[in-house]
Chains A and B, each alone.
Chain A
Amino acid sequence: MSTGHTHDHDGDDHGHKHPAAPMVEEITDYEILEIAVRELAIERGLFTAEDHRSFTEWAESLGPINGSRLVAKAWTDPAFKARVLQDGVKACKELGLDWTEPTGFGTPSDYTNFVVLEDTPTLHHVIVCTLCSCYPRPILGMSPEWYRTTNYRRRLVRWPREVLTEFGLIVPPEVEIRVEDSNQKCRFMVLPVRPDGTKNWTEEQLAAIVTRDCMIGVALPRPGRTADVHPIHKARRPVESSHHERAAE
């Protein structure tokens, strides 16, 4: 969908009408390119239209909300937390999340070996895939762009504290930082320490402060922090520059 309109009515009967959602009123070469190469690939027998539709629908269904819910539930239910740490895939099923979708065997990138890494006051985990940016997409959705950059992938294993500082996270030296490089078939997520100031919170309130960055390990959850915000990067292509100029290093 090109529409910028996202609005969840939760079944309520709103009496008002919405203004027409803005749409991108042109068909770009990128859009054409994707369709064209896909059609040719299907005609060449590289894959079927049916399989493509299945994976695309699966991709559309993903987002980090199940990760947040898993953390919130683990924080409030010690028996659930124990099950999470014992078998991540099985615990996800309790939340209605099935790692074997959409094929029955998972996907060729995500597999079915989900491991939750529990932080403690003396142990902080952070996740990377140096080889290719593998990520637990079934529970967290698509990876953020910065996670896929060679900048993050190469530097996090070597300089984790410097990289975390760039995210605004400073970890005391006595706390162990454990980098998890997911180079094979296990997929990981961080179960952060429940922050102070959340006593008697509902699971919903807790889930709201467990953002994607907290589950990768580049941020810590805390009351009032309900979004991942990153520093603004300078314009890739400032207004006056020509399309042919390469970005300055």
Chain B
Amino acid sequence: MKASKTLKTSDAPARFKVGDRVRVRNMPNMFYTRTQNYVRGAIGTIAVCTYKDLIPEEEAFNYDGRIEQYYIIRFRQKDLWEEYPFDNDTLQTESPEHWLEPA
């Protein structure tokens, strides 16, 4: 069966590395996004550099557009939710590079 998407490589170096502190940008959703509301504006650290791929907003429309580095970002739950009572708890989620900025 024909797959419509193949993973492309990109020569652009990843902007962030493991351990970097980043903030999730709060951009308007044009159409289709996988960036959850609850992480927007939050600051976390890069936990893993995962893979390079099309960004979901463009992939959804079969647009052979930008390839970006994806990252798993780790947040302290206390930084995501008001009055989160447990100091040690964390949450991780994945994001393409253009949703992140240095913090």
Contact = CB atoms under 8 A, between A and B. Distances in A.
Touch A–B, Cβ below 8 Å: yes
Interface of A: 50-51, 54, 102-105, 113, 115, 130-131, 157-158, 160-161, 173-186
B1 A183 contact: no
A185 B51 contact: yes
Contact of A183 (B3, B5, B36, B74): B36
B34 A180 contact: no
Nearest to A50: B1
Contacts of A54: 1
Given A157-B91, A184-B34, A113 B50 contact: yes
A182 to B, nearest CB: 7
Contacts of A105: 3, 5-6
Nearest to A102: B1
B92 A179 contact: yes
In the complex, which range does the number of interface residues on chain B fall in?
20 to 34
B38 interface: yes
A51 B1 contact: yes
A186 B53 CA distance: 12
A130 B36 contact: yes
Interface string B64-89: 00000010101001001100001011
11 contacts: A103-B1, A105-B6, A158-B81, A174-B88, A176-B88, A179-B92, A184-B34, A184-B70, A184-B94, A184-B95, A185-B70
B90 A176 contact: yes
B91 A103 contact: no
Interface string B43-61: 0000010110100100000
Nearest to B91: A179
Interface of B: 1, 3, 5-6, 34-36, 38, 48, 50-51, 53, 56, 70, 72, 74, 77, 80-81, 86, 88-96
Contacts of A173: 86, 88
A186 B91 CA distance: 15
A51 B96 CA distance: 30
A181 B90 contact: no
A178 B89 contact: yes
B52 to A, nearest CB: 11
A197 B88 CA distance: 28
A177 B1 contact: no
A173 B89 CA distance: 9
